Chains A and B, each alone.
Chain A
Amino acid sequence: MILKISFQNKCYWNFLRSKSQVLMKFLQTVQTLTLGSILRIQPTVGYGSKASPKYGTGGCSRCFSFTKAKPLANRNRLCLEVTLAEASQHVTKFATWSALSQNFKGVVYHSSSRDIFYNLAFEDWVYKNLNLDSCDVLMLWCNDPCVVVGRHQNPWAECNHKHLKESRVALARRRSGGGTVYHDGGNLNCTFFTSRERYNRKNNLNTIISAVTNKWPDVDVSATSRDDIILNKNYKISGTASKLGRKIAYHHCTLLHSCDKSQLIDLLDVNLDGITNKATRSVPSVVKNLQDVNININHGTLVNVIAEQFYKEHLALGEAKIYDIDPSDEKTWPGIHGLKEELESWSWVYGKTPPFSIQRGDDTLSVLLHINRGIIDGVIVRILSDDILIDSLQQLSASLKGVPFTRDDLKSACNVFLHAAVLEDKKKLKLAQVCSLIQEALS
């Protein structure tokens, strides 16, 4: 039996390099113990690598050595792939050894808030305030129903606003990249805060996958190249995004265990006709809930198994337990109310939308609205008509410029314009038609 184990994500290059003697000794021991042979030792390196591994087959002590390698794409990340013969338990031992030897501390928080804005504000607070050079933080949290768009997305192109309003679901924009997701109580969010150097999404996803499969071995979950987690090799149960700074980074992901799938589908079902967009687009996926394959999987059990796995891979900062935190507690997290207010503001949620345009109408009458930062930047009306409406249309266009692209603002701006226009009835009727078409841009 050949067992191929990638240690990628388990430990770090600097560490390995400094400990290469110890590592070689350890591998020799493994070899002696298993009576097999190390078939290949090769640093797996990222982009721009100048690695020059020396490896061979057969007898161990002479056959490999560590030479300098440059794991550029994955700075300070483990870059070693070891192929061993029949060594499963010893390999496990090695993995544990390397993780513990790093001496990294960790702590698990569970947020008591179900308010998306407070939970995102907590991420912000950690990002701005904590030094995570020697300690990783995992926050587990869930929200009341909400739709969350990525940093550079267009909410008008990502979610169904009519349905959003009717079902009183909150809309938020997070600071990380990536696509739009729907959250409710049936979705667990995991945020992995680390130093920038220790940022490693695959490692974090492996923590979740190990947690789930250790507890429920029949559940088939795996990570994809896009850093999604899929169930039964097909259905998405987790989406990922991250935020990178100078010293600190965080990676958060969703984990669907029992979310309202019909609500998810309805809210993310959007009519894109007529929208021209430079924003980051979401990649739609077929989703499933973990509970569909195992009835015992729910918020509580997932929180426990993930926290347990996290503490297996870290030295507990205090006790190896889940600490409840309340992100709305300004005393403990000074400044968090301000962060929450900013995340809730229209200028963040909508105003951060990259420029886009939206077209409505047909050959005889059409309108094109340009929207920048959520504000109407220009309106172009094309009309086939005998009436000379040019002046009025220019006035209409001028009066709409600067109006926020919301149903209420657009409606009232149109009404004010129509009310003030002194025109014969026929022209006024035509203008009313134009105005209602403009308002359709928000339907």
Chain B
Amino acid sequence: MIQYSFPERKFTEEHEWLLLKDDASDVATVGVSDFAQSQLGDMVYVELPEVGRAITKGEEMMVLESVKAASDVYAPVDGEVVEVNNALEERPELVNSSPYDKGWLFTMKVADVSSLDSLMNEKEYEKFIEGQE
């Protein structure tokens, strides 16, 4: 019998999400949560990070601009930027309309996949935002 296991979307307290491409992979896609985009409002500019940049958990790594507000986005875990979503240069509003799909920000090679364990899963994150209200 073959058992399938799907990677789970993980969340940070700074409202970034991270999803491994598949369970065997150490490459993850990163974006901001629906909660975050709804708080920020209409995106007007996405300042993407440089491909190949080494990132340390918690550091400021890119900026989202929405209705006159520039918001720092923080690195969810240690690793390296692999690819950025160039579509956001033309269509920053994808972060609003499709935060978990077309509005992804970048992909990264995760330095230590077990570091994802410390992040919240979807249920925990939902609880976390409820606690914030």
Interface residues of A (CB under 8 A from B): 13-14, 46-48, 70-76, 150-152, 175-179, 197, 226-227, 240-246, 278-280, 354
Closest 4 CB pairs of A and B: A178-B68, A177-B70, A244-B71, A177-B65
Complex contact A70–B68 (CB within 8 A)? no
Contact of A279 among B39, B45, B72, B132 (CB under 8 A): B45
Contact of B69 among A70, A241, A279 (CB under 8 A): A241
In the complex the two chains form, is A176's CB within 8 Å of B133's CB? no
B37 to chain A, nearest CB (A): 10
B8 at the interface (CB under 8 A from A): no
Which residues on the A side are within 8 Å of B45 (C-beta)? 151-152, 177, 278-280, 354
- A243 and B70 contacting across the interface, CB-CB below 8 Å: yes
* Interface hits, B76-133 → A, CB 8 Å: 89-90, 130, 132-133
> Which residue of the partner chain, among A48, A240, A244, contacts B70 with CB atoms under 8 Å?
A244
Given A71-B133, A75-B39, decide whether A177 and B72 contact each other with a Cβ distance below 8 A.
Answer: no
B31-71 contacts to A (CB < 8 Å): 35, 38-41, 44-45, 47, 60, 63, 65-71
Please tell me if the beta carbons of A70 and B133 are within 8 angstroms of each other in the complex: yes
Report B-chain residues with C-beta under 8 Å of the C-beta of A241.
68-70
Q: Is the Cβ of A243 less than 8 Å from the Cβ of B65?
A: no
Closest Cβ of chain A to B36, distance in Å, is 10
The answer to whether B23 has its CB under 8 Å from any CB of chain A is no
> Nearest chain-B residue to A279 (Cβ)?
B45
Given contacts A278-B89, A280-B45, contact A72 B69 (CB under 8 A): no
Complex A-B: 21 CB contacts under 8 Å: A14-B133, A46-B38, A72-B39, A72-B133, A73-B39, A75-B39, A150-B70, A151-B63, A151-B65, A152-B70, A175-B70, A176-B70, A177-B69, A227-B68, A240-B68, A241-B68, A241-B69, A242-B68, A244-B69, A245-B60, A280-B45
Docked complex Cα distance between A349 and B68 (Å): 18
Is B22 an interface position by the 8 A CB rule?
no
Beyond A48-B35, A176-B69, A245-B60, 10 extra complex contacts between A and B, CB < 8 Å: A75-B39, A151-B47, A151-B65, A152-B45, A176-B68, A176-B70, A177-B68, A177-B69, A179-B68, A244-B71
CA distance A46 to B38 in the complex (A): 9
The CA-CA distance from A243 to B41 in the complex, in Å, is: 14
Complex interface: chain B residues within 8 A of A226 (CB): 67-68
Closest to A281 in B: B44
B11 to chain A, nearest CB (A): 14
Residue ID in chain A nearest B15 by CB atoms? A246
A278:B133 contact, CB within 8 angstroms: no
Among B67, B90, B132, contact of A75 (Cβ-Cβ < 8 Å): B132
B-side contacts of A176, CB under 8 Å: 68-70
Alpha-carbon gap, A73 to B37, bound state (A): 9
Contact A73 B38 (CB under 8 A): yes
CA distance A72 to B70 in the complex (A): 19
- What residues of A have a CB within 8 angstroms of the CB of B44 in the complex? 152, 177, 280
Q: CA of A280 to CA of B67 in the docked complex: distance in angstroms?
A: 10
A13 touches B133 (CB 8 A): yes
Contact at A243–B38, with CB atoms within 8 Å? Answer: no
Q: Are A152 and B38 touching (Cβ within 8 A)? A: no
Residue of B nearest to A251 (CB): B69
Contacts of B90 on A, CB cut-off 8 Å? 278
Interchain CA distance A243-B60 in the complex, whole Å: 13
Residues of A within 8 A of B132 (CB): 75-76, 197
CB distance from B101 to the nearest CB of A (A): 18
Q: How far is the CB of B95 from chain A (nearest CB, A)?
A: 14
Contacts of B47 in A (CB 8 A): 151-152, 354
Of all chain A residues, the one with the shortest Cβ separation from B133 is A70
A176 to B35, CA, bound (A): 21
B19 to chain A, nearest CB (A): 21
Q: When chains A and B are docked, how far (Å) is the Cα of A302 from the Cα of B35?
A: 38
Q: Which residues of B contact A243 (CB under 8 A)?
A: 69-71
Interchain CA distance A245-B62 in the complex, whole Å: 11
B69 touches A76 (CB 8 A): no
B14 contact set on A, CB distance < 8 A? 246
Query: What B residues does A279 contact at CB under 8 A?
Result: 45
- The 8 Å CB contact of B35, one of A72, A76, A150, A280, is A72
Residue of B nearest to A71 (CB): B133
Q: Taking A72-B39, A278-B90, A354-B45 as contacts, is the C-beta distance between A152 and B65 under 8 angstroms? A: yes
**Chain A residue contacts of B130, Cβ below 8 A:** 70
Contact of A177 among B38, B66, B74, B133 (CB under 8 A): B66
Q: Nearest CB to that of B37 among chain A residues?
A: A47
Of A74, A75, A280, which one neighbours B65 at CB under 8 angstroms?
Answer: A280
